[in-house]
Amino acid sequence: MFDYLIVGAGFAGSVLAERLASESGKRVLIVDKRNHIGGNAFDHYDDQGILVHKYGPHIFHTNSADVFDYLSRFTAWRNYQHRVLGSVDGQLFPIPINLTTINLMYGLNLNSTEAEQFFLSKAEEVKDVRTSEDVVVSKIGRELYEKFFRGYTKKQWDMDPSELNASVAARVPVRTNKDDRYFTDTYQAMPLHGYTRMFEKMLNHPNIKIMLNTDYHEIVNDISFRQMIFTGPVDEYFDYRYGKLPYRSIEFKFETYDQEKFQETGTINYPNDYAFTRITEFKYLTGQRNAKTSVVYEFPKAQGDPYYPIPKPDNMELYRKYQLLAEQTADVWFAGRLGTYKYYNMDQVVAQALSLFKKISAPAPHRGTYA
C-alpha cells in the first residue's frame, strides 16, 4: 500500500517524492516510462566519457533562494554563466542583443544612452503587446527582429512570431549595456556531478520505490495507493477528451569531434541558416576536461516526445478545459511542465512542486490541479 503514486521522475515528480517521503513520512511509488530518472534534465556520460544532456542543454538559473537552497541539499554546484552567440549574416553576435551586438552589426561606437536612443528610433509603436512579434518590434524594430527572431522562431515553433504569445520571445531580453550573459538570475550554476547524480540523491530514501521502463497504465490497477501525482501530459491523462494539446518536439543530434574545442561559446544560435536552431558544446556547461568534445544540434519537429507546450491563445483555451477537469478529479494532483501545460524552466517546476507539497500537506482537504 502506497500513500502516493507519482507518475514521472523529472523535477516535478522527484521533488514531490522527496518532500512527501522525507518531510511527511509518506510511502511513495514513483514510476517513469523511460529507463532513467531525471526526466528531461537527465544527463549521462557518452562513449567518449563526456557528460552530455540527453534531452538538450539544461542550464540551471534562478532568482529563488528557496529553490536554490532546496536543491543544494542534493548537490554541490559549479558556477557557470551561460553565453550565447547568434550567427547572422555570416558573423557571430552576442545574444541577447546588447550594446556590443548593435555596435558590431552597424559599425557604431554607441554608449548605453545612445543605444537606448538607437532602439527607440527603430522601435515600432504597438498599442497592445500580445504576440512575440509585438514584443520584439516594439522594443528594437523590424530589422533586428527579422535578423535575430523571426527565422529562429519559425524553425523552433513552425509558426510566425505573430501567432505566439508575447511570453515566448519575451524570455530573451534586449540590453543597452555590454552584459553578454544569457541569464541575469542571482543563482546560475550547474550541479557539480551532473543532474542525474542530484536526482539519485533526492530519491534515495527508504520510503521511495522507483519503477522505471513502466507506463503507469501498466500498473495503476494492480497497485494500491491513496493519491496520485501526475506529471505527464495532462491531455493524455484524460484520453484526449477535448482533443490533443499541441506540443513541440526536438530531434537531438549528438556529435563528438576529435578536437578539444568546437566553438567559441556554450551555445551558438542559427536563426536563419540550417534546419537546426542551435549547437551546444557541453564542456562549457560542465567544465569537464577531455581531449575530445561533444556537441548537440537541435532540430525542432512536430512529432516526437512532447517537450514544449506551445503558448498561443487557442492552446491556452484548450488547456483551461483540461485544467477544469483536473480540478474536478478527486485524489489526483497535476504538476510540472506537461501536467500543467506551462513553458516552465527547471526552477519554476521546482518552485511549483514545493508549493504543491505545502498545499497537499495542509490540513484542509484540497483537490485537483496546481496552477
User: Which positions lie near ligand FAD, rule CB under 6 A?
Assistant: 7-13, 31-34, 39-41, 55-59, 215-216, 231-232, 250, 307, 336-338, 344-347, 349
- Determine if 297 is a binding residue for ligand UDP (CB under 6 A): no
Among 169, 190, 279, 326, binds ligand UDP (CB under 6 A): 169
Binding mask 232-251 for ligand UDP (x = CB under 6 A): --------------------
Alpha helix segments (H runs only) across the chain = 11-22, 65-72, 99-106, 112-122, 132-140, 142-144, 151-157, 166-169, 195-203, 216-219, 234-237, 282-286, 313-327, 336-339, 346-361
With CB under 6 A as the contact rule, the residue among 153, 176, 293, 369 that binds ligand UDP is: 153
Q: Is 47 within 8 Å of 270 (Cβ atoms)?
A: no
**CA atoms of 153 and 85, how far apart (whole Å):** 16
149 makes contact, choosing from ligand FAD, ligand UDP, none, with CB < 5 to 8 Å by partner type, with ligand UDP
Q: Which of 156, 207, 256, 369 binds ligand UDP (CB under 6 A)?
A: 156
Instruction: Candidates 20, 37, 172, 360: give the one binding ligand UDP (CB under 6 A).
Output: 172
Contacts 24+ apart (CB under 8 A), 43-48: 43/194, 43/195, 43/196, 44/196, 46/254, 46/256, 46/294, 47/256, 48/256, 48/290, 48/292, 48/294
CA-based nearest residue to 195, from 355, 40, 357, 12: 40
Q: Pick from ligand UDP, ligand FAD, none: which does 171 bind, CB < 5 to 8 A by kind?
A: ligand UDP
Query: Among residues 152 and 334, whose Cβ is nearest to ligand UDP?
Result: 152
75 binds, among ligand FAD, ligand UDP, none (CB under 5 to 8 A by kind): none
Check residue 152 for interaction with ligand UDP (CB under 6 A).
Answer: yes
Long-range contacts of residues 288-293, Cβ cutoff 8 Å, at least 24 apart: 288/50, 288/51, 290/48, 290/49, 290/50, 290/260, 291/258, 291/260, 292/48, 292/50, 292/256, 292/257, 292/258, 292/259, 292/260, 293/50, 293/256, 293/257, 293/259, 293/260, 293/261, 293/262
Q: Which does 271 bind (CB under 5 to 8 A by kind): ligand UDP, ligand FAD, none?
A: ligand UDP
Q: Which three cell numbers stand for residue 235?
A: 491531455
If binding is defined by CB under 6 A, does position 190 make contact with ligand UDP?
A: no
Select from ligand UDP, ligand FAD, none the partner in contact with residue 174, using the beta carbon and a kind-dependent cut-off of 5 to 8 Å.
Answer: none
Q: How far is the CB of 322 from ligand UDP (least distance, A)?
A: 22
Closest CB to ligand FAD among 117 and 213? 213
Nearest residue to ligand FAD, using CB?
39
- % helix / strand / coil in the chain, to the nearest 5? 35, 20, 45
Looking at 29-37, 165-173, 183-191, 212-220, which segment touches ligand UDP (CB under 6 A)? 165-173
Q: What is the DSSP letter of 145?
A: I
Residue ranges that bind ligand UDP, judged by CB under 6 A: 86, 95, 148-149, 152-153, 156, 168-169, 171-172, 269, 271
